[in-house]
Amino acid sequence: MNALEQQLHYPLGDALPEQGHCIEVAPGIKWIRMALPFALNHINLWMLRDSVEGEHGRIEGWSVVDCCISRDESKAQWEAIFANELDGLPILRVIATHMHPDHIGLANWLCQRWNVALWISATDFQVARMACLGDNGFGGERSAAYFAQHGLNDAESVAKIRERTNYFPSLVPSMPESYCRLMDGKLLNIGGRSWRCISGYGHAPEHIALYCDELQVLIGGDMMLPRISTNVSVYEQEPEANALRQFLDSIDKFCALPESTLTLPAHGKPFTGLHTRIGQLHEHHRDRLVEVMQACAQEPCSARDIVPVMFKRELDLHQMTFAMGEAVAHLHLLWFEGKLRRRLGDDGVYRFNVVA
């Protein structure tokens, strides 16, 4: 546990759900932890005790929040959960906080498996459906050109990014054809309790967190993680975005919630100390922005130049594309604030330098 984590409290200690089983973290809320084949090796999913109005009266069951990527191992983990943890009741609806593959990959499979609807923001539903076609922010000709314009233009990287056109569909092979819309301020009645949708931007197009005032529980998705900083990036679909400003403004929405709120993150362990964590994230990005300003004061820098300033470790190409997106996000915030100037060089690369 690092120094920042020590400022937070983990009510369940080191307890983790076993594969195929859950841990109850609050009344009617079960914690599932599923494996991921990435450096970030797990995702937390949640089941909420629920009931809905059916044709012949109320139906008791569960709502699922987030889904994991689509692969046979994940489906097997879900089947074990169905066998061990549903108390003989059905899944009644599938809720996705946002459209990233580890959160939505099995949404269509779950919806078809239980004949239920997907609940998600309109923006993320549409972006995910488009990304299933293969033209997404993680590969292809447009991605390669975008990253090259920000300095990742060596022949090997350009070729690999250009060829990586199937990343999203390999993890999210399909999406439901329809959905139920989540939006900021919407109240969901889940199991007789009111859950309020809180929108967030900068990490995903329209991320939705869920807060229950009765339980003082926040399902934070990727907007509020205890150990790592959420990836905040600018990609070619919205190349002039100010994603970092959007993210920082979004997490400030959580300041209105009690400090004692039990926060259920998508990665890491459930924690309390919400306001402390918000402050830590602001300080983290403030420090990175200082580093970026210092680098750009010495000489004009591309995003590729900034990557080793922000990330002190070796990165593979997959990690590099995320790091590039984050570097652009930090440069853009300073650019939009008028602290940096952006110029397109004769070599076709954007570089930023400090405004005198």
CB 244 within 8 A of CB 202: yes
Q: Do residues 232 and 247 make contact, with C-beta atoms less than 8 angstroms apart? A: yes
338 in a structural domain: no
With respect to residue 54, please indicate whether it lies within any of the assigned structural domains: yes
The answer to whether residue 123 is domain-embedded is yes
Task: Examine residue 114 and state whether it is found in any structural domain, yes or no.
Answer: yes
Would residue 335 count as lying in a domain? no
Residue 122 inside a domain? The answer is yes
pTM of this prediction? 0.96
**Cα Rg of the chain (Å, integer):** 21
Helix, coil or strand: residue 181: strand
Torsion of CA 136, 140, 142, 146, to 10 degrees: 90
Q: What is the pLDDT along the chain (356 residues), one digit of tens a residue?
A: 678 888 999 999 999 999 999 999 999 999 999 999 998 999 999 999 999 988 888 999 999 999 999 999 999 999 999 999 999 999 999 999 999 999 999 999 999 999 999 999 999 999 999 998 765 556 889 999 999 999 999 999 999 999 988 889 999 999 999 999 999 999 999 999 999 999 999 999 999 999 999 999 999 999 999 999 999 999 999 999 999 999 999 999 999 999 999 999 999 999 999 999 999 999 999 999 999 999 999 999 999 999 999 999 999 998 999 999 999 999 999 999 999 999 999 999 999 999 98
**Residue 295 resides in a domain:** no
Nearest C-alpha neighbor of 244 from the set 291, 198, 282, 293: 282
CA–CA separation, 338 and 334 (whole Å): 6
pLDDT given at position 70:
98
How much is the pLDDT for 39?
Answer: 86
Q: Identify the domain containing residue 221 by its residue range.
A: 5-288
- The domain total for the chain is 1
Residue 19 lies in a domain: yes
pLDDT for residue 166: 87
**For the domain that residue 79 is a member of, what is the CATH number?**
3.60.15.10
